[in-house]
């Protein structure tokens, strides 16, 4: 890695760039007094609540709370890492980004290798495209002609051909001064561990470059021409390519539709390209992985509606369930998700060729809404005339709804569940309040694994990947809007230190009350470099889905929940818990010691 970017350069860069120009290239802005206004690009809205201040060089959304400077905007909107956002801003001004420690020969070597890596992927793309037009690419051209792809589509997707040789690309890149080590690191060469031999990873394959938002190649997918296995071969994980994050065809979809409103997610390269051939230019594909939350976040940054397209067989239904799990935490009001299941034996490539463009578009329009798919999966294999089966159906749906953000969609789904089960909606609401998602984890207890068709099918998620615990929701509100501390009661008896992040929550509240930490940045700086700081930063990065005018009510409700939970706890169980904590070697706080004495006296009466 290159050294850190000097702070003086960042200050100078932000002073010289105009945030209105940066944001205006991506969001349609109108002058509104001294500021500019437009529709927020970070959540779906019909009336503008997103403002950009030229005087303060700052943007802010009064709907979702998104805010920051030009660097923050590029990082959030274009999904860039901090160094990439700095590079992009600097390039606008014709500046080269300096790095501390650049006089260090080792730092220079690392930076040179990084630049070689980015450059070699572009060189490889050019090499594959050239080979497709040459005599050695005849087999590739014939394959693409049989698939009915036009020259325009081949050009737009930069499709090429990897020759049937062991060292064709390697020798070409050697001539460009790029050594084997960099080619191996970026996935173009394979190195055998036993013999040390290196050779081209992609041979005799049609090549599909996987590109970022700027059209720069990050990796490749190769489709075999014959019967060799695997049929599709992807680049491995590299410093710039991560399969669980990238989507094939997203760059091309944005190029073809500057005002995208809907994206269709399919399962293969050829599906994307074939749909483009039939003028369906809003498709993208996962790269041999299940749909992840990072995929979903990236999709919703661009559009308000996502349609997932799967085969209609058991494997397709399983993939759809995984997609549903990834989607649920992102479903703030205004977003729409639907599921399109294809007839048996068909994929998008074959179906669009058989039915034509309009028929396939009609299928997309009529795809199954998320709500219908959710209830269908929960009811699968169950006789809802039986009380026990109806209970399992309701429990399965409730488990999914706990992962939804608060909003109109969640309320409507609870109402529909009430209609289908005959149980009052208020009862379901109470059940969800009594057993919130993540409550077991917050109390330091392992959650029981869910079962049934809506149970998570992937490995357990890392913390903060899914629904937040109740204490995390309090912390997230305070990190995003520190002035909410004024809503909290003077006594912190509701925030017990035995509840997961209770100690951290108390410390954050005390710091905010001290009056020195009124901005999220200063609060995060206090915890910088600690595990607690990493946790708070993750909460700060996570989108706050609660509208600004509802946040005070939300934090009041959370405190009321903790107080209700504590009031239901018997004195005996509370005493046993505190005593076990002390005997286990943990140090009790002053409040806990006082509470322990009160409980001891009351139990001995």
Quickly list DSSP for 508-547: HHHHHHTTS--SHHHHHHHTTTSHHHHHHHHHHHS---S-
Both structure tokens of 464: 């903060």
Percent of the chain with pLDDT over 70: 82
> 407 exposed, middle or buried (CB, 10 Å; 0-12, 13-18, 19+)?
middle
Query: Which residue's structure tokens are 């309090």?
Result: 474
Q: What is the pLDDT of residue 443?
A: 30
For 527-533, the CB contacts below 8 A with 24+ separation are 532/504, 532/507
Strands (DSSP E) along 386-455, which ranges? none
Q: What is the pLDDT of residue 529?
A: 66
Q: What is the pLDDT of residue 512?
A: 83
Asked whether residue 458 carries a pLDDT value surpassing 50, the answer given is no
Contact 508, 475 (CB under 8 A): yes
Distances (CA, A) of 54 to 11, 47, 82, 91, 587: 16, 21, 22, 21, 52
CA angle 108, 113, 119 (to 5 degrees): 125
**What does DSSP assign to residue 460?**
P
Q: How confident is the model at residue 440 (pLDDT cuts 50, 70, 90)?
A: very low
Both structure tokens of 482: 């520190």
What is the average per-residue pLDDT within 562-582?
A: 68
Max CA separation in the chain (angstroms): 97
Contact 42, 66 (CB under 8 A): yes
d(CA 302, CA 131): 34
pLDDT, greater one: 534 or 19: 19
State the average pLDDT for the chain: 82
Q: What is the pLDDT of residue 27?
A: 87
pLDDT, greater one: 452 or 112: 112
How does pLDDT run across 236-260, given as a tens digit for each residue? 988 888 888 889 999 999 889 877 8
Q: How confident is the model at residue 91 (pLDDT cuts 50, 70, 90)?
A: confident
How does pLDDT run across 348-405, given as a tens digit for each residue? 999 999 999 999 999 999 999 999 999 999 999 988 888 889 899 999 999 999 888 8
Q: How confident is the model at residue 442 (pLDDT cuts 50, 70, 90)?
A: very low
Asked whether residue 461 carries a pLDDT value surpassing 70, the answer given is no
Q: What is the pLDDT of residue 373?
A: 94
- Most confident option among 116-120, 400-404, 456-460, 536-540: 400-404
pLDDT, greater one: 482 or 307: 307
Is the pTM here over 0.85, yes or no? no
Both structure tokens of 275: 């749909």
Question: How many helices (H) and strands (E) in the chain?
Answer: 27, 16
Pairing of strands 262-266, 35-38: unpaired
Q: How confident is the model at residue 549 (pLDDT cuts 50, 70, 90)?
A: confident
How does pLDDT run across 173-229, given as a tens digit for each residue? 999 888 898 899 899 999 988 888 999 999 999 999 999 877 889 999 999 987 778
Asked whether residue 149 carries a pLDDT value surpassing 90, the answer given is yes
């Amino acid at each position: 890695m290159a050294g850190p970017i000097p702070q003086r350069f960042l200050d100078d860069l932000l002073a010289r760039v105009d945030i209105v120009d940066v944001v205006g290239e991506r969001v349609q802005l109108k002058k509104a007094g001294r500021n500019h206004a437009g529709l927020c690009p970070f959540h779906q809205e019909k009336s503008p609540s997103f403002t950009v201040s030229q005087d303060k060089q700052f943007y802010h959304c009064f709907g979702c709370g998104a805010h920051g400077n030009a660097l923050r905007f590029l990082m959030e909107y274009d999904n860039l890492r901090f160094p990439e956002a700095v590079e992009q801003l600097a390039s606008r001004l014709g500046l080269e980004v300096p790095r501390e420690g650049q006089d260090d020969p080792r730092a220079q070597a690392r930076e040179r290798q990084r630049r070689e890596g980015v450059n070699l992927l572009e060189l490889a793309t050019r090499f594959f495209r050239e080979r497709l037009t040459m005599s050695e690419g005849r087999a590739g051209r014939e394959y693409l002609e049989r698939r009915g792809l036009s020259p325009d589509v081949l050009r737009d997707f930069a499709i090429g051909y990897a020759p049937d040789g062991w060292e064709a690309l390697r020798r070409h890149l050697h001539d460009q001064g790029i050594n084997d080590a960099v080619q191996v690191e970026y996935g173009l060469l394979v190195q055998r561990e036993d013999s040390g031999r290196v050779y081209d990873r992609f041979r005799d394959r049609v090549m599909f470059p996987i590109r970022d938002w700027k059209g720069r190649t990050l990796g490749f997918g190769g489709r075999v021409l014959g019967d060799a296995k695997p049929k599709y071969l992807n680049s491995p994980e590299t410093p710039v390519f991560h399969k669980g994050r990238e989507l094939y065809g997203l760059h091309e979809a944005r190029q073809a539709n500057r005002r995208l409103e809907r994206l269709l997610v399919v399962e293969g390269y050829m599906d994307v390209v074939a749909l483009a051939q039939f003028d369906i230019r809003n498709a993208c594909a996962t790269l041999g992985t299940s749909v992840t939350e990072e995929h979903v976040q990236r999709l919703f940054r661009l559009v308000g509606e996502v349609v997932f397209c799967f085969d209609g067989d058991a494997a397709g239904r399983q993939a759809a369930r995984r997609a549903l799990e990834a989607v649920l935490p992102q479903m703030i009001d205004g977003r729409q998700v639907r599921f399109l299941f294809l007839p048996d034996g068909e994929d998008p490539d074959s179906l669009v060729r058989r039915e034509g463009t309009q028929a396939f578009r009609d299928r997309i329009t009529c795809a199954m809404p998320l709500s219908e798919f959710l209830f269908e999966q929960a009811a699968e294999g169950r006789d809802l005339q039986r009380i026990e089966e109806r209970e399992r159906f309701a429990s399965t749906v409730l488990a999914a709804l706990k992962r939804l953000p608060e909003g109109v969609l969640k309320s409507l789904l609870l109402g529909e569940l009430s209609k289908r089960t005959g149980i009052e909606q208020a009862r379901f609401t109470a059940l969800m309040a009594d057993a919130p998602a993540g409550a077991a984890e917050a109390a330091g207890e392992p959650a029981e694994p869910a079962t049934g068709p809506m149970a998570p099918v992937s490995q357990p998620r890392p913390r903060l990947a899914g629904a937040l615990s109740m204490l995390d929701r309090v912390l997230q509100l305070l990190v995003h809007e520190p002035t909410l501390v004024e809503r909290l009661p003077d006594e912190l008896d509701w925030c017990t230190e035995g509840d997961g992040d209770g100690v951290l929550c108390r410390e954050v509240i005390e710091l905010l009350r001290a009056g020195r930490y009124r901005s999220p940045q200063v609060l995060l700086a206090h915890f910088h470099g600690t595990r607690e700081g990493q946790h708070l930063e993750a909460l700060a990065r996570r989108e706050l889905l609660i509208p600004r005018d509802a946040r005070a009510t939300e934090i009041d409700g959370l405190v009321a929940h903790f107080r209700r939970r504590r009031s239901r706890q018997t004195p005996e169980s509370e005493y046993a818990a505190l005593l076990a904590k002390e005997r286990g070697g943990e140090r009790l706080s002053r409040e806990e010691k006082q509470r322990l004495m009160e409980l001891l006296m009351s139990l001995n009466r």
